[in-house]
């Protein structure tokens, strides 16, 4: 078993981004700028956003955080989105999900300027991704593609089983793995909550990507020897030994690692890659903007 080290690979990517930023700023250009909108006080969202802001600093980006009260109205949030859409020198921004129940996520996502959609969640960008056009890719699936690429895991002609059909992970993941590209060119099966006998699919898979949000879901007897296992789950569970909360994935790592060829840990696998790819999308937006600001 070989561990796919998301901390190490994401650091490589951040280093590459930092070098790129320095090239521009050495030429007298402004820094790339990413903003985050955080609504309410969901502890997981607070922690994710804090880390995203920290990452910006580490690569030389400017960042800004817009914190809104849990009870903010849809109109107020849409007004902020509009302001960010029009803010000069702001290359990209994200609205951290999930939003409180009274806010319509679809409506908010649609209001984001696709050119500043660093998450790659806007339907325009999802459509471009499906059609293989250059665009911002959703950060988690994009990060998984980088993990596979930089770990030299072959995907062409392989059977990839994705478990979970969320808009931000499972569904785009299935599209990227089936694209005519490397990584990609895989035969993809997308399993979900209505798939009977998921183990019949995972046992025939070369690559299993698990993104369903159930702690310890994937067991050793559900995969064949030599499978690459990518764990997207981030679940907070109580550790019976210490009585404290800890983060675990959707994969029962301790038993699956003995049968898997390559496997991502939680934490330290996919999570840091998501953050790195958000920076990469922002850099892409910045480089487009710098070129057009000159013209
Ligand atoms: N919530 C969980 N993951 C993400 C993400 O990648 N982006 C945003 N905006 N919200 C999330």
- What CA–CA distance (Å, rounded) separates 150 from 144? 10
- What CA–CA distance (Å, rounded) separates 196 from 155? 25
- What CA–CA distance (Å, rounded) separates 89 from 75? 24
Cis geometry, peptide bond prior to residue 267 (ω within 30 degrees of 0)? yes
List pLDDT tens digits, range 147-195.
999 999 999 999 999 999 999 999 999 999 999 999 999 999 999 999 9
Residue 167 CB partners (closer than 8 Å, separation 6+): 121, 126
List pLDDT tens digits, range 101-120.
999 999 999 999 999 999 99
Helix extents (H) in 131-235: 139-150, 170-178, 198-202
Number of the ligand 1 atom closest to the C-alpha atom of 119: 7
Cis geometry, peptide bond prior to residue 183 (ω within 30 degrees of 0)? yes
Name the residue of 92, 108, 119, 143 whose CB sits within 8 Å of the most ligand 1 atoms, as the mutation to test its pocket: 119
Residue 249 CB partners (closer than 8 Å, separation 6+): 210, 215, 231, 232, 233, 234, 235, 264, 265, 266, 269
* CB 233, CB 214: distance < 8 Å: yes
Name the residue of 43, 49, 68, 94 whose CB sits within 8 Å of the most ligand 1 atoms, as the mutation to test its pocket: 94
Q: Is 125 helix (H, G, I), strand (E, B) or coil?
A: helix
In order of 9, 94, 147, the CA distances from 278 in angstroms are: 14, 9, 15
For residue 150, report the distance from its CA to the centre of ligand 1, in Å.
Answer: 23
**Does ligand 1 come within 6 angstroms of the Cβ of 112?**
no
For residue 83, report the distance from its CA to the centre of ligand 1, in Å.
Answer: 21
* CB 276, CB 241: distance < 8 Å: no
For residue 26, report the distance from its CA to the centre of ligand 1, in Å.
Answer: 32
List pLDDT tens digits, range 189-247.
999 999 999 999 999 999 999 999 999 999 999 999 999 999 999 999 999 999 999 99
Residue nearest to atom 11 of ligand 1 (CA): 97
Q: Name the pTM for this structure.
A: 0.96
- pLDDT in the model for residue 294: 73
- pLDDT in the model for residue 24: 98
Residue nearest to atom 2 of ligand 1 (CA): 97
For residue 14, report the distance from its CA to the centre of ligand 1, in Å.
Answer: 19
**Does ligand 1 come within 6 angstroms of the Cβ of 109?**
no
Percentage of the chain beyond pLDDT 70 is 100
Give 173: exposed, middle or buried? Use CB within 10 Å, 0-12, 13-18, 19+: buried
Mean pLDDT for the chain?
97
- pLDDT in the model for residue 71: 98
Give 76: exposed, middle or buried? Use CB within 10 Å, 0-12, 13-18, 19+: middle
Q: Which residues are catalytic?
A: 52, 96, 119
- pLDDT in the model for residue 261: 98
- What CA–CA distance (Å, rounded) separates 178 from 228? 16
Number of the ligand 1 atom closest to the C-alpha atom of 98: 1
Number of the ligand 1 atom closest to the C-alpha atom of 97: 10
Residue 60 CB partners (closer than 8 Å, separation 6+): 18, 21, 22, 25, 31, 32
């Amino acid at each position: 078993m070989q561990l796919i080290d998301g901390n190490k690979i994401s650091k490589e990517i951040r280093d590459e981004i930092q070098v790129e930023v320095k090239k521009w700023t050495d030429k007298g250009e402004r820094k790339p700028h990413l903003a985050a909108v955080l609504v309410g006080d969901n502890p997981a969202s607070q922690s994710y956003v804090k880390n995203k802001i920290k990452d910006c600093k580490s690569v030389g980006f400017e960042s800004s955080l817009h914190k809104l009260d849990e009870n903010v109205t849809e109109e107020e949030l849409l007004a902020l989105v509009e302001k960010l859409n029009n803010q000069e020198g702001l290359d990209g921004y994200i609205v951290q999900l999930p939003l409180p129940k009274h806010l319509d996520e679809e409506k908010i996502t649609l209001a984001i300027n696709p050119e500043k959609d660093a998450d790659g969640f806007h339907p325009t960008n999802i459509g471009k991704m499906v059609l293989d056009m250059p665009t911002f890719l959703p950060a988690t699936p994009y990060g998984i593609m980088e993990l596979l690429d930089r770990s030299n895991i072959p995907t062409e002609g392989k059977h990839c089983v994705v478990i979970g059909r969320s808009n931000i992970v499972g569904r785009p993941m299935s599209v990227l793995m089936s694209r005519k590209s490397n990584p990609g060119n895989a035969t993809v099966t997308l399993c979900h909550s209505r798939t009977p006998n998921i183990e019949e699919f995972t046992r025939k898979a070369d690559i299993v990507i698990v993104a369903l949000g159930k702690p310890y879901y994937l067991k050793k007897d559900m995969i064949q020897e030599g499978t690459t296992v990518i764990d997207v789950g981030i679940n907070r569970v109580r550790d019976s030994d210490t009585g404290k909360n800890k983060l675990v994935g959707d994969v029962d790592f301790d038993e699956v690692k003995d049968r898997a060829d390559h496997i991502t840990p939680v934490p330290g696998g996919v999570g840091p890659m998501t953050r790195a790819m958000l920076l990469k999308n922002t850099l892409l937006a910045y480089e487009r903007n710098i070129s057009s600001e000159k013209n």
